[in-house]
């Protein structure tokens, strides 16, 4: 029953008689939201109902910040 993202988008578009682009935007919105909040660093965790709880590993965040600072200083 596992389906890839494109199959799910196609099935939803057919079921609700909406354009594929609109369904894709709806599906991607939650992930863009999580990415934006994580980039801002203003969270302890983010919970998407029925999907999961997202957190940033502090060690990974430190690594990313160090890497970003090195790029910006060049």
- Residues 3-40: tens digit of each pLDDT: 888 998 999 999 999 999 999 999 899 889 888 887 77
Task: Note down the domain range covering 59.
Answer: 5-73
pTM: 0.57
Spell 10-31 as b/e; 16+ CB within 10 A means b.
Answer: eebbeeeeeeeeebbeeeeeee
Number of separate domains in the chain: 1
């Amino acid at each position: 029953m596992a389906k890839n993202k494109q199959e799910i988008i196609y099935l939803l578009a057919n079921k609700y008689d909406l354009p594929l682009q609109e369904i894709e935007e709806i599906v991607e919105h939650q992930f863009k939201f999580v990415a934006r909040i994580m980039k801002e660093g203003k969270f302890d965790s983010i919970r998407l109902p029925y999907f999961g709880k997202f957190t940033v590993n502090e060690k990974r965040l430190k690594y990313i910040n160090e890497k970003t600072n090195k790029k910006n200083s060049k």
